[in-house]
Structure 1
Amino acid sequence: MSDSGRRKPPLVADRRYGRSGGGSRAEDTKAKPAKSARKRRAPAPRRKPRGPIGLIAALIGWVWRIAWGMTWRLGLVLVLILGGAVAFTASSMPPLEDQLDGRARGSVTMLDDEGQVFAWRGDQFGGVVTTETVSPYLKHAIIATEDKRFYRHIGISPRGIASAIRINLSEGRGPLSGHGGSTITQQTAKLLCIGEPYDPEVWKSEAEYEADCRATTIGRKLKEAIYALALEARYSKDDVLTIYMNRAFLGAGARGFEAASQRYFGKSAADVTPAEAAMLAGLLVAPTRYAPTADLARSQNRANVIVGLMRDQGYLTEAEAENARANPAELSEAAEARAGGYFADWIMSSGPDFLTRKTTEDVVIRTTLDQRLQKAAEDGVKAVFDTKVREGSEAQAAVVVMSADGAVRAMVGGRKTKVSGAFNRATQALRQTGSSFKPFVYATALELGYHWYDTVEDTPLTIDIPGSGPWSPDNYDHRFRGTVTLAQALENSLNIPAVRVADAVGLDLVRKIAGDFGIQSDLAQGPALALGASESTLIEMTGAYAGILNGGSSVTPYGLIELRLQGQSEPLMDNEGGIGERVIREDAARELIWMMRNVVTSGTGTRAGLPDREVAGKTGTTSAARDAWFIGFSADYVAGVWMGYDDNTPLTGVTGAGLPAEIWHEVMVRVHEGLPVNPLPMARPDPPVQQPSVADSSNAPRAAPAPRREDPIERLLRNIFGIRN
């Protein structure tokens, strides 16, 4: 029996396909293609290269995997170290207020006789400014100039550093030399010397310390970057900018923008115009080069560049920019004076170092300077050199103007008056005085009882000087006038009578009288003393003449009236100059003034005369005309003029009666503008019927017996107890 008619069971159980019931095979057959269609054909595996190429590729892959693993791990470690360094540095930073004024030195502010500022020395700090208190123009000028992305970076700018390196290399410098690409934050880190304070025990000088702070080594730049990031972490952006504005050096001793604004414009940093703000911001790149006191035109040109940057970055409108260019910043009167010149330098040298040149405090000094008279002195010198001295001449001149009590009112130490720290010929140059010394010879004679009408011989004279042999003085014009009065001898600056009078009254006494009047330099021992063979400074000689004007009392020239610490009212020092002890009797001084008045009216000093008032003085010319002097006075002021070459080259065709007298005239005309006319305190005693002679015509001069010589001890006692004849 056949079972072909039976239905064959399925080869695969239905439940293997997840079915619950039976189904036709046709359905199964149709489902298979659908399922196979969903299948994707797996890509054929890449066959690895074999042989040497495969080995090299495997080696490169292995090295890469190791390098990458090390790199990201090392990078992570470095990030953690950097973050720790930044966090530690930021946590050790002091409060903001302690970061604003980090000067190692203090400042000296000098006031004139009216209390107006005319000079600064040391590190001037004008006071704290913030981003909110300064003029918006100044804030924007700083950002536009130094770091236009300041408010968008984290303290360092890789783009800026890369650009700076590229520029440095293209210009043939080292990658870190020249352009630094520093942000304002990095510059602030440098100003703070990355947190290292100045220690005088570590550094030889402050200059060496600051040079190290500005070093551009790779290690230093890395520390600077860390410190900059810490600044950003510790302070706000405005705080960082505030530190920068208070710490930046801006030339002429100004630290911070408030000091610079006061220094150059005489106003607060809150009030500067766009043009002034641009000039101040322009100083940041090179404070000494672009300081307006050094070259105003250069500073203005730099400011124009800053104005353009401010306009391009939207801080100024086109109209504001054009107005700033059309009206460039100008210096204040005090700034124009270039920090007080020679007078301010003299004041700094006359006070104690610890309160002047090496002060660590802020000091205010009130002085005797009269700025009107200072300008008169400068203009008087310039007027003569511009019109009467050949172009290219290197001859120098110095001027001192003072009151009769020794208060110095003006000082010119050389032809270049707008200077600071220069050689001061008024106070530092020791020069032979020539015939300007002769008034002290005649002052000695008058003090001993002689008068203007006493006579002396102007005849040939030879004196045997031990150790030197015979010496024969001569007059300037090589003429002899016979018997002359003391007044005539001084009026015409005759040499032989001066030598005879000095020998007659005693060289030691002449030396003592001159010293008592304030000539402290070493005085010659021989008879040439009478002709000004000794050296002295212009300020000493002018002070000695002030003693004649004030009636015969010694004078100590002074310029400092009062010194105090800034913010305090009680002075630490008062002036140490002024009128001292009496040297000669008042009537002797008044007679000498009358004799010196004749020098100007009819003698060697006629070019010095003023048209509207009485003046007196004396010319002086040294051997070979190496020095030429004129020193004199009105009833109000004493002025001294010296002219010569620094290297002692003889002057050509110049004597004290010439250009120095003309400079004196030009200065004193300007000094007395607008002042009331006062007569000189002079007297002319009437001569007796018979006039004694100071010395006869013999070769050995001697004193006339008629006037009684006072015993030195008697004279000393009379001065001490105030006894008058």
Structure 2
Amino acid sequence: MNDRTKRAERREPSFESGRGGSRDDFDMRLSDDDRPVRGHRAPPRSEARQPPRRDKRSGGGGGRRRGRRGRSFLGGLFYWTLVLGLWCAIGLGGLIAYHAAQLPPINQLTVPKRPPNIAILAADGSLLANRGETGGRTITIGEVPPYLPKAFVAIEDRRFYEHFGIDPIGLGRALVNNLRRSGGVQGGSTLTQQLAKNLFLTQERTAARKIQEAILALWLERTYSKDQILELYLNRVYFGSGAYGVEAAAQRYFNKSARSVTIAEAAMLAGLVQAPSRLAPNRNPEAAEKRAQLVIAAMADQGLISQNAAKTALVAPAEAAERIGAGSVNYAADYVMDVLDDFIGAVDGDVTVLTTIDTKLQSSAETILVEALAAQGAKQGVSQGAVVSMATDGGIRALIGGRDYTKSQFNRATAAKRQPGSAFKPFVYLAALEKGLTPDTIRDDSPVSFKGWEPENYSRTYRGPVTLQTALAHSLNTIAARLINEVTPKEVIRTAQRLGINSALQPNLSLALGTSEVTPVELTAAYATFANGGQSVLPYVIREVKSSSGKVIYARAAASFGPVIQPPTLSMMNAMLHEVMVSGTGAKANIPGWEVGGKSGTTQDFRDAWFVGYTARLVTSVWLGNDDNSAMKRVAGSGLPAEIWGKYMKAAHAGAQPAPLPGGLWQGTPRSIFDGGAPVAGARPPANTQTADSDRAWVPPAPQEKNFLERLFGG
């Protein structure tokens, strides 16, 4: 190697980054005299003549080599991203397919039938209560004001009419908001997804449930129109307090139909579904109102209501009303449900039941009973009461089954069997009259004993010979005992059953004093026979039942079961029971201007106290006592029960035209044995008096012939 070559090698330029690339990338371009161009020294001849193989494949140039490396990295990244995405898609598809397989076949999928609702209406058509799992009937979207469904769309799913059941935009917006906000989490579920969950799935929060929810949402969107989906949603969503559907919620919180809600009320209902327990307007009115304000603002922002309407709604926010049905009407509603099956069988769809209940009478009876017990219950040792009031044909107008339905749902008016005490005596006297006695018949009020049974009067005193009318008016026990001994307990039982007493009655002499148990409803119905002219009465509360389409399923026809008391006997009974109200134990409860009949009843040790009475318009019974059958503090039927009865009946008859009792009041025959209307001890009717009944009354009844077994064993 010559010196020139050595010097050229020593002076070979270095190619740093940014100044032409590496040595391999430099285009040598030598001149004919082997001198490098641009002042650079040429590399050795051997290197210039044999460039690297990789330069030949790439075409030379350092810039092109670096681009190839860049493209390889980006290409690899794209490739592996594509592969990963494909595998994710395959995995997601498999996961979806797996969870879809857990659902019924799509071609067999149907919307589950909504549990039926029974709407129970008062006689005037107002709602008393709803019964059923949903708490309200199905309502169509065309029945409600337009702003009601719009409120739900505005706050729950503003793109409801644009998406296909799943809203990617909504999901993204919810995700962004959740990342920005430090508290609170937004969901991305559409109304369709929420409906799918409510219809088909449980409330569990799992990925599996969300996948199935999305699948079902797509099926709903394919099967139903948007308005149909919204209608299904409004009828299925839960609003708390046992209310499923917007109609049930409107009744529950505002005591009105969803057809009548205001914008403010609609906004409160729409805001409630996010957290029914926390946002219930009757529990947390402040939170419910704040949420409703958000709904109203959303409706205005989306142009669903005008700005003026929004301002009006914000100025006058909705308020939860006192709940109708939280009190005594539930006793009446329960009674309706107890007997409904007897008329229409199993309930397959929504039905409306029109009842005989008068809301004013129901409210009046409840108020008077509750106030009386609040004022005197603790002092007199009485904790419970019941009131039954019915028309003379048996239609129940008011039914109070207890003091407070929220604390005790036991219906004492229809289910509690208690001893009626002296309130049972009219059946004994009726049986005696039907055997030929009259109100003027005399019996001796004196100590009496029947095989060891020695009934005493309440006052522990005796009056001597008295008329049956006087004896009933003053509820003399000895006379009732004498009468049942004469006519026999079995005859008294047949008489009571004929008038509507269905409970088992024991055929013993003490039955005369009401020792066999009955319910307030059946005792009231039996007294109605005295008030309606002697016609048999079957108590009823249902007048008509209609399906959701308006078809009449059942309608009560006017029914007459025929007379069970003959007119002369009925006239005598009414005269006797009227005397109770004029001069006897019911005098304090009498209704001025009306012909009124009634009877008090008090059981042994003051465990039960009753007052049952009637006019030509209404028959009412009041019972007071304790559920554990403990004794009250000397509460007699002529006391607090008569007071409650009198207040209620006077209010019920206010403004009504007085009417006489059917059949009139028996006037009787003037007797010389009476002095000022009171019997005179030892008196005898004169010989020319044509009153065989009174003559018989002075003769002790003939002893009944005993059969062989009675003579052998006694009895």
Residue identity in the other structure for 2:291:
I
Partners of 1:606 and 1:497 in 2: how far apart?
21
1:115-145 C-alpha deviation (Å, 9 max, x unpaired): 4443332243333227x9653355335653x
1:437 aligns with 2:451: no
Aligned ranges 1:52-71 → 2 under 5 Å: none
Q: 1:328 aligns with which of 318, 341, 346?
A: 318
Q: 2:91 aligns with which of 63, 74, 78?
A: 78
8 Å contact 1:538–1:642 — kept in the other structure? Answer: yes
8 Å contact 1:87–1:230 — kept in the other structure? Answer: no
Residue identity in the other structure for 1:447:
E
Structure 2 equivalent of residue 722 of structure 1? none
The residue matched to 2:660 in structure 1 has which SS? Answer: coil
Structure 2 equivalent of residue 553 of structure 1? 535
Aligned ranges 1:110-129 → 2 under 5 Å: 110-122=120-132, 123=134, 124-129=136-141
Distance change (3 Å), C-alpha of 1:135 and 1:326: same
Mean Cα deviation higher: 66-75 or 400-409: 66-75
8 Å contact 1:279–1:329 — kept in the other structure? Answer: no
Report how far residue 412 of structure 1 moved: 0.9
The residue matched to 1:439 in structure 2 has which SS? Answer: helix
Q: Percent identity?
A: 35
Aligned ranges 1:239-318 → 2 under 5 Å: 240-250=229-239, 255-258=244-247, 260-261=249-250, 265=254, 269=258, 272-285=261-274, 297-298=282-283, 300-310=285-295, 313=298, 315=300
8 Å contact 1:125–1:255 — kept in the other structure? Answer: no
8 Å contact 1:120–1:339 — kept in the other structure? Answer: no
1:415 aligns with 2:425: no
Distance change (3 Å), C-alpha of 1:647 and 1:215: farther
Distance change (3 Å), C-alpha of 1:143 and 1:649: farther
Q: 2:636 aligns with which of 655, 658, 669?
A: 655
Structure 2 equivalent of residue 682 of structure 1? 665
Query: Which segments of 5 or more consecutive residues in structure 2 lack a partner in the other structure?
Result: 1-26, 49-59, 67-76, 302-306, 683-692, 701-715
1:526 aligns with 2:511: no
1:636 aligns with 2:617: yes
Structure 2 equivalent of residue 135 of structure 1? 146
1:127-168 C-alpha deviation (Å, 9 max, x unpaired): 3227x9653355335653x56787786379589799999x9x
Q: 1:376 aligns with which of 344, 358, 364?
A: 364
Distance change (3 Å), C-alpha of 1:564 and 1:180: same
Aligned ranges 1:229-248 → 2 under 5 Å: 231=220, 240-248=229-237
Partners of 2:600 and 2:394 in 1: how far apart?
21
Distance change (3 Å), C-alpha of 1:447 and 1:563: same
Q: Relative contact order, CA 8 A, sep 6+: which one is greater? A: 1
Structure 2 equivalent of residue 543 of structure 1? 525
8 Å contact 1:396–1:643 — kept in the other structure? Answer: yes
Larger Rg: 2
Structure 1 equivalent of residue 18 of structure 2? none
1:224-274 C-alpha deviation (Å, 9 max, x unpaired): 344346556776776654432232244676543245446655766465323
Root-mean-square deviation (Å): 4.7
Partners of 1:31 and 1:116 in 2: how far apart?
111
Aligned ranges 1:432-471 → 2 under 5 Å: 432-464=419-451, 470-471=452-453
Structure 2 equivalent of residue 716 of structure 1? none
Aligned ranges 1:592-603 → 2 under 5 Å: 592-603=573-584
Distance change (3 Å), C-alpha of 1:483 and 1:299: farther
Partners of 2:422 and 2:318 in 1: how far apart?
52
The residue matched to 1:431 in structure 2 has which SS? Answer: coil
Partners of 1:613 and 1:34 in 2: how far apart?
141
Partners of 1:28 and 1:67 in 2: how far apart?
47
Distance change (3 Å), C-alpha of 1:366 and 1:503: same
Aligned ranges 1:201-212 → 2 under 5 Å: none
8 Å contact 2:499–2:536 — kept in the other structure? Answer: yes
The residue matched to 1:422 in structure 2 has which SS? Answer: coil
1:405 aligns with 2:393: yes
The residue matched to 1:686 in structure 2 has which SS? Answer: coil
Partners of 1:237 and 1:361 in 2: how far apart?
24
Residue identity in the other structure for 1:706:
R
Q: 2:200 aligns with which of 193, 202, 205?
A: 193
Report how far residue 284 of structure 1 moved: 2.6
1:617 aligns with 2:605: no
1:478 aligns with 2:486: no
Q: 2:471 aligns with which of 489, 501, 507?
A: 489
Partners of 1:515 and 1:161 in 2: how far apart?
74
Mean Cα deviation higher: 555-564 or 400-409: 555-564
Report how far residue 25 of structure 1 moved: 6.5
Structure 2 equivalent of residue 29 of structure 1? 37
1:488-510 C-alpha deviation (Å, 9 max, x unpaired): 11111111111011111222111
Distance change (3 Å), C-alpha of 1:446 and 1:605: same
Partners of 2:517 and 2:149 in 1: how far apart?
54
Query: Which segments of 5 or more consecutive residues in structure 1 lack a partner in the other structure?
Result: 1-16, 45-63, 172-177, 195-212, 465-469, 697-702, 710-725
Distance change (3 Å), C-alpha of 1:353 and 1:584: closer
Aligned ranges 1:207-218 → 2 under 5 Å: 213-216=202-205
- TM-score computed with the length of structure 1 as normaliser: 0.73
Structure 2 equivalent of residue 203 of structure 1? none
Partners of 2:395 and 2:277 in 1: how far apart?
34
Partners of 1:430 and 1:577 in 2: how far apart?
29
1:355 aligns with 2:344: yes
Distance change (3 Å), C-alpha of 1:277 and 1:705: same
Partners of 2:453 and 2:557 in 1: how far apart?
42
1:516-572 C-alpha deviation (Å, 9 max, x unpaired): 010110112211000000100000000000011122232111112233433344x44
Residue identity in the other structure for 2:478:
I
- TM-score computed with the length of structure 2 as normaliser: 0.74
8 Å contact 2:358–2:398 — kept in the other structure? Answer: yes
Mean Cα deviation higher: 547-556 or 497-506: 547-556
Mean Cα deviation higher: 299-308 or 455-464: 299-308
Partners of 1:592 and 1:459 in 2: how far apart?
24
Partners of 1:285 and 1:29 in 2: how far apart?
82
1:614-672 C-alpha deviation (Å, 9 max, x unpaired): 32211001111111100001221110111111111211231111111111011112211
Residue identity in the other structure for 2:657:
P
Residue identity in the other structure for 2:600:
T
The residue matched to 1:476 in structure 2 has which SS? Answer: coil
8 Å contact 2:595–2:615 — kept in the other structure? Answer: yes
Mean Cα deviation higher: 423-432 or 296-305: 296-305
Structure 2 equivalent of residue 668 of structure 1? 649
1:706 aligns with 2:696: yes
Distance change (3 Å), C-alpha of 1:239 and 1:662: same
1:580 aligns with 2:592: no
Report how far residue 30 of structure 1 moved: 3.8
Report how far residue 429 of structure 1 moved: 0.5
Partners of 1:512 and 1:307 in 2: how far apart?
65
1:154 aligns with 2:167: yes
